Chain A
Amino acid sequence: MVTYVLRRLLVAVPMLLGAMSIVFFAMRVLPGDPCVAMMGDQATSEALADCTKNLGLHRPLVVQYADYMWRSVQLDFGKSLRQGYPVSEYIARMFPHTFILVMAAAVVAALVGIPVGIVSALKRRNPLIDYPLRIFALLGLSMPVFWLGILLLIFFSLRLNLFPLIGGGDLDGVIAMIRSGEMFKYPGDFAIAILDVLHHLTLPALALGFTLAATVSRLSRSAMLEVISQDYIRTARAKGQIERAVVYKHALRNMMVPLLTIIGLFVAIALTGTVLTETVFTRPGLGKMLVDAISARDYPLAQGAITVFTMIIITVNLMVDMLYAAVDPRITYK
């Protein structure tokens, strides 16, 4: 197992370097100049030339690439062309916001999507249950997250005044309290800070989670349908096991493998979903940052963010592969 993990980690290194190279060249192939994007209609030819030189963009592409890769392997992604912040620092600050959003959305999607998928599969012959659930899935699939987000904001934030309109809460404060150990010293304050973060997180997580729940429910439904058509399920029923035991003991455990695959995919889908969710709910985060960086041709920031996204996806896929072995004893890694 350890050998397998190490081998996978080693394979991940060239994958990551490959992804970084693709991103580097893709950003350069993209038409548009960072200086023109920054200076807009105020740009004079002289100012543009100065800007290009100051940002080091006048150097040959190969030199820029070598410089970027050399710095990146030392985890130095450079500085944002636009705002001047070190990219690593910037990403470190944004990452927790995106991380908790993806996690919360995953919880919502799993809590809603998996049961809905299972019930929909088990009750597929009962149109009174199956149809509404399929309509729910269809709605979730067709509703863009920004539209649902605005609806939630209008209803829960504007009309009912139950949730804040913008922001991510004092997550920096929470992290600082955890790091400094103040969470044990001031548990009351810590609880309030956590509550504040959750208060800000609820609507975005519901919006993103609900749209993802639809995908999860459809995939869970197919997984369950496949499992319950297996011989061992028929055998379990034939030997007189009660339905609950058939579902929980036999079917659910066996659908975990395809379900884990879904979760692996889900992280990639959720990461892309954060772009719109963070924009509509005006939350800080990697998604919004990445889109702004690409629009502004802020090369270091966009490259840094995509590298982090790639790392997340590689890590999640690795974890999913590990979990296959945990849920299915037939799978072993050597």
Chain B
Amino acid sequence: MHRLLAAVGFVAVALLLMMVQMVPAPAQPENLPGPDLVLALTLAWVGRSPQTLPVILIACVLLAADLLLQYPPGLGAALGVIAAEVLRRHILRFRTRYFPAEWSRAALLIFAVGLGHWIILGLTFSPQPVLGDIVLRAMFTAAAYPVFVGALSLCGLRAEAPA
């Protein structure tokens, strides 16, 4: 029951974030690339409670984000699933929780996802965004991570004692 509630909550919040990113407010290309909210949410959720989120759900939500937000479909989802799995294993392996370590690990993964995205697009000769924008975006996403962690723990999703 608890898991079902978590899954529904995750999907709802992710959908809301996608909608926020799609609001047609200022279509100004000069603006800095904002954070990848859905990826930050996923990693923060996995970082807080690695047991509640089934990996298939993560894949579905990230694929939906790719489709709705005009990214190359599947690529961001594949990299996001790998990042979430790596983070999950890391969290489960270390029994003591130390937030800076968790955050730096998540930030590292976020940068790896951005770079991987850029490299794979280059390898397949797809149109590539500028590398500087990717790095900026990863920085903002990494900065959004603790915000999501704070919001999630306010909603009662606290770090579980590892099994």
Judge: A and B partners, yes or no: no
Report B's interface with A, CB cutoff 8 A: none
Report A's interface with B, CB cutoff 8 A: none
